[in-house]
Amino acid sequence: MKTRITPGRIGLYVFLFTAALFFLVPLYVMLVTSVKPMSEIRLGNIFALPLAPTVEPWRLAWQAACTGLECEGIRGGFWNSVKITVPSTVFSIVVGAVNGYALSFWRPRGAGVMFSVLMMGAFIPGQVVLYPLVRALAAVDLYSSIPGIVLVHVIFGMPMMTLLFRNYYASLPDELFKAARIDGGGFWRIFFELMLPMSTPVIVVAMIMQVTNIWNDFLLGLVFAGSDNLPMTVQLNNIINTTTGERLYNVNMAATILTSLVPLALYFISGRWFVRGIASGAVKG
Amino acid sequence: MVKQRSRTSIAAWIALLPMILTVVFAYIGTMLFTARVSLSSSRIFPTSDFVGLGQYARLFRNERWLLSLENLAIYGVLFVLACLVIGFLLAVFIDQKVSGEGVLRTVFLYPYAMSFVATGLVWQWILNPSLGIQQVLRHMGFEDAQFDWIVDQDKALYTIVIATVWQASGLVMALLLSGLRGIDEEMWKAARIDGIPRWRVYISIVLPMLWPSLSTAFVLLFAMVIKLFDPVVAMTQGGPGTASEVPAKFIMDYLFGRANIGLASAASIVLLTTVMAIVAPLYFARSKVVQKRSKA
């Protein structure tokens, strides 16, 4: 495989460069729009560089943009998203790890069937279970609350988390588990002292997956969080789609970037792990 | 020993309790509940009367529902095909030992880390006819340039395809690239000795070898199609008119906006049945393949 410069090679780079441009343009447009004053935006050239860059739209987006009746910016949504994402991620990983461990090593009779049903659950459209879940949560006084939305995220994340951990534990040698059993380890002791310390790689992947999924969620937050706890994605949509008067496109774009910042940062920092999470997230049978 | 075994088994069952409760109540229970409501005349609150398949009959006389099903079918085919083709091309081209591979991979995949809402809003802005691309083209001297799909009844759906393909094709690229990297170098040598052109090798040999990665990608994309809701809300809100209505949004509107949970439940069950009819055979076929492989 030599890499000489041939017409084919040039074509190859032209294709890749064009594709990269297509993928980068929205990011570029977002960035330049978010630092332009409205007077420049009205000129109607979304690709132009800002003549007089300003950070004012960012300040407005963070603390003064209107979401419906209130005008306190998107910062409330940011903190709501943090309050939802952190416990949801922790609990769904704990549940997934215990499930995966029990299913891979203990295999209680009948659990395989439960697992199959759970995996089918990954394909149930959210809308099918939405209304009954609302009723159920309302019955136990959890509807429109942080614990309620956290519970919903744990339920919806369970198929993927269980699958992830089950596959990981299935790849560990069975002898390890048998040796621990012979040494008299019980269910929880083997889990906490042997399996969990060995699970760091899969926990990292699970964390990236869940933080990204839960942070980016819109539907569940919209329905279950309640008006005091709306996550950032819902507030972002409210800012952009319900403004009265002139639309402040620069503020909108700043708010969009702010909302995407957490998952994007996670992606740029974690890189390879992120891809690994996607690959293992798919149903492997 | 027997005693020991039964005790540990109990510990395992206790550990699996959250999963069992989820399966029984959150999945099976809610589905049965929805199925039951779909057979009643419920409006704002569920009622316990029985009207047979009346809601389903009304559902399939509802223009908006029929339109949203049609839209989802068109969207699904275009979205999945475009993602697979673009993702495959990107993966193959990146796999030609290009320089800057890491940067390119990062660029192609970053949209996938964003939320569909954010993606939808950015594209809504770019496609905005009075300030977006159309306006830029006009400034450049193309006075009659027209690119107003997002406000065009017949084309609004395609703008959602564009935005979501932009977001998800990097995912296919990442999956296929790892598949390509798993292919043996020997195969390439053999193909070269036989004088088979590279593109032929990709189409006839590599593509079939990528089947596992392709089916994984397909499953993930299919799940996105069924759940299509956020980008529609963010970009067109189902409009103009009802031109880009989709089932998930239809159900949400009838559940919370129009307080007709009987009809919404019937719609949910139709959606669920469709999903299962497509996923179940696929799931079955895959576990067959896995079984065969583990035996071999």
pLDDT digits (tens, 9 = 90+) for B26-37: 889 999 999 999
Average pLDDT over chain A reads 87
User: What is the structure's pLDDT at A244?
Assistant: 65
Chain A hits for B276, CB-CB cut-off 8 Å, are 120, 123
Look at residue B7 and tell me whether its pLDDT is greater than 80. Answer: no
Residue A283 has pLDDT above 70, yes or no: no
pLDDT above 90 as % of chain B: 38
pLDDT at A4: 66
Alpha carbon dihedral B252, B254, B255, B261, in 10-degree steps, equals -140
Of A29, A106, A188, the CB nearest to B125: A29
Asked whether the beta carbons of A54 and A247 are under 8 A apart, the reply is: no
Q: Does B48 touch chain A (CB under 8 A)?
A: no
Decide if B115 touches A, using CB distance below 8 A. yes
Q: How far apart are CA B224 and CA B217, in angstroms?
A: 11
Cβ-based contacts of B55 with chain A (< 8 Å)? none
* Tokens representing residue A135 in the block: 């009723």
Q: Which residues contact A251 (CB under 8 A, 6 or more apart)?
A: A57, A60, A61, A65, A239
Kindly tell me if the per-residue pLDDT of A28 is higher than 90: yes
| Mean pLDDT computed over A18-36 | 93
The CB density around residue B199, as the number of other CB atoms within 10 Å, is 9
- Amino acid identity of A195? M
The better pLDDT of the pair B264, B140 is held by B264
Instruction: For residue range B83-92, list pLDDT tens digits in order.
Output: 999 999 999 9
Rounded average pLDDT over A269-276: 78
For residue A42, what pLDDT is reported?
A: 83
Tens of pLDDT, residue by residue over A168-209, are 898 888 888 888 888 888 888 999 999 999 998 899 989 998
The residue-averaged pLDDT of B48-75 equals 91
What does the pLDDT read at residue B1?
40
Mean pLDDT of B97-104: 87
Share of chain A above pLDDT 90, in %: 44
Asked if the Cβ–Cβ distance from B136 to A136 is below 8 Å, we say no
Contact B115 A95 (CB under 8 A): no
The answer to whether residue A285 scores a pLDDT higher than 50 is no
Examine the predicted complex and report whether its ipTM is higher than 0.95: no
Q: Which residue has the higher pLDDT, B247 or A2?
A: B247
**% of chain A surpassing 70 pLDDT:** 94
Q: For the residues B43-59, what does the mean pLDDT come to?
A: 85
Write down the pLDDT at residue A96: 95
If you search the block for the tokens 């702010």, which residue do you land on? A258
CA distance A36 to chain B (A): 14
Q: Average pLDDT of A37-50?
A: 85
pLDDT over 70 for what percent of chain B?
A: 94
User: How many residue pairs bridge chain A and chain B with CB atoms within 8 Å of each other?
Assistant: 275
The yes-or-no verdict on residue A254 having pLDDT over 80 is yes
pLDDT > 50? residue B296: no
- Chain A CA closest to residue B123: A26
**Res. B245: pLDDT tops 50:** yes
Residue A281 has pLDDT above 70, yes or no: no
| For residues A19-42, average pLDDT | 91
| Per-residue pLDDT reduced to its tens digit, A52-107 | 888 888 998 898 877 777 778 889 899 999 999 999 999 999 999 999 999 988 88
Q: Per-residue pLDDT averaged across A127-136, rounded?
A: 88
The structure tokens listed for A278 are 């996607």
